[in-house]
Amino acid sequence: MLQTLRYFTREALVGFYRARTMNIVTVGIIAASLAILGGFLLLVENVRTLADDWNRVQINAYFRDRAIAQTPADVRGLVESLRARPIVREARFVSREEALEIFKSRFAGLAAAAGSLSVNPFPASVEISVRGDRDERAESTRALLEELKASPLVEMVQDNEEEARRLLAALRVVSSIGWGVGAVLSAASIFIIFNVIRLTVHARRDEISIMKLVGATGGFIRGPFLLEGMLQGLLGAALAILLLYGAHLALADYAGRSGNTLARLLSGQFLPAARTAGLAAGGLLIGLTGAALSLRRFLAD
């Protein structure tokens, strides 16, 4: 078994080298298809984190500066009354100073500029989480929003629930586009692998005929070609993951230096291990499928 595997590996490497120009093109197309798909997945992963955070806190109510300065007892009373409501899971008061510190921690590139301001520009607020699932809490959230908007203590109310819904709807569109583009490029990769393996089989047709005459099984003949296709797929996937990680690091560095909000959002985290393994498995499957289709047509037992 080990000897057979060594033979398959040696023949696959030899075949890869013989058609190296076409194989390099194939690996590049596989890498491009998986990198584009991985880029969409990376975007979805980071934006979904924001949506989950908004889902955790459904409402942000920002207090008027006058209310904080002149009627702090009324502000505390409003926060306490919110905490006492059955539909409210949590009501967290965020002071102006705490809001400034949160901004500095989240946007390190702008921390120095924010610290140089003579007046703190951030209002005090209360973060409100409502009990129940999204559908269950819709009516409760709507009623609470209207009540807070009518309060003379509150200057502005942000409906994170609605923003999260819009964001998730956009994510579904982005995901569909990513899967569609990835599928088209993957099909192109399979087609190229199909033709590369076909040319290799054609070039070695005399050798294959002799192997059949001496009793070589179809599986033994197919092994090196299948392994060659898998090698193409794995190399393409590895290149795609390296490109994605390099782009992630570059974007994170840019976000840290510039304080760009969009760049910071998109570079929040890299793909989870499961997604990364899925891309590698996808490359392997593309290579194996292209080789298997070619051999099915040109090598009959």
Those residues whose C-beta lies under 8 Å from the C-beta of residue 214, and which sit 6 or more positions away, are none
Same domain as 186, residue 274 = yes
State pTM to two decimals.
0.60
The answer to whether residue 301 scores a pLDDT higher than 50 is: no
Structural domain including 113 reads 58-159
The answer to whether residue 238 scores a pLDDT higher than 90 is: yes
pLDDT in tens, 248-298: 888 877 776 665 656 666 677 788 888 889 888 888 888 888 778 777 765
Q: What gap in Å lies between CA 62 and CA 127, rounded to an integer? A: 9
Point out the domain boundary residue: 106, 127, 159: 159
Nearest to 124 by CA among 46, 53, 62, 197: 62
**Residue 259, pLDDT score:** 58
Q: Over range 31-40, report the average pLDDT.
A: 83
**Residue 109, pLDDT score:** 54
Same domain as 114, residue 140 = yes
Same domain as 204, residue 107 = no
φ and ψ of 21, to 5 deg: -65, -50
The enclosing domain of 118 has a CATH number of: 3.30.70.3040
Same domain as 102, residue 242 = no
What are the residues facing 76 on neighbouring strands?
none
Q: What gap in Å lies between CA 36 and CA 185, rounded to an integer? A: 9
Same domain as 119, residue 105 = yes
3-state DSSP helix/strand/coil % of the chain, to nearest 5: 75, 10, 15
Inter-residue contact 214 to 8 (CB < 8 Å): no
**Residue 153, pLDDT score:** 92
Per the listing, tokens 């409501």 go with 85
Same domain as 115, residue 9 = no
Same domain as 116, residue 48 = no
Share of the chain above pLDDT 70, in %: 74
Same domain as 291, residue 170 = yes
Q: How many domains does the chain have?
A: 2
Same domain as 143, residue 172 = no
Q: Which of 12-16, 132-136, 227-231, 297-301 has the highest mean pLDDT?
A: 227-231
Nearest to 97 by CA among 115, 73, 71: 115
Same domain as 209, residue 77 = no
pLDDT in tens, 188-206: 777 777 777 777 666 666 6
Same domain as 172, residue 36 = yes
Instruction: Read off the tokens for 166.
Output: 């819009």
Angle 273-298/20-56 helices, nearest 10 degrees?
140
Question: What secondary structure, in 3-state letters, does 94-109 show?
Answer: ECHHHHHHHHHHHCHH
If pLDDT is split at 50, 70 and 90, which confidence band does 180 have? Answer: confident
If pLDDT is split at 50, 70 and 90, which confidence band does 241 have? Answer: very high
Please tell me which residue, 62 or 6, carries the higher pLDDT value.
62
Point out the domain boundary residue: 125, 142, 159: 159
> What count of Cα atoms within 13 Å lies in the side-chain half-sphere of residue 131?
8
Q: What gap in Å lies between CA 131 and CA 144, rounded to an integer? A: 12
The H or E element containing residue 5 is helix 2-18
Point out the domain boundary residue: 120, 140, 159: 159
**Residue 62, pLDDT score:** 92
Same domain as 244, residue 121 = no
**Residue 239, pLDDT score:** 93
pLDDT in tens, 53-93: 655 557 889 999 888 888 989 999 999 998 988 888 888 89
What are the residues facing 88 on neighbouring strands?
130
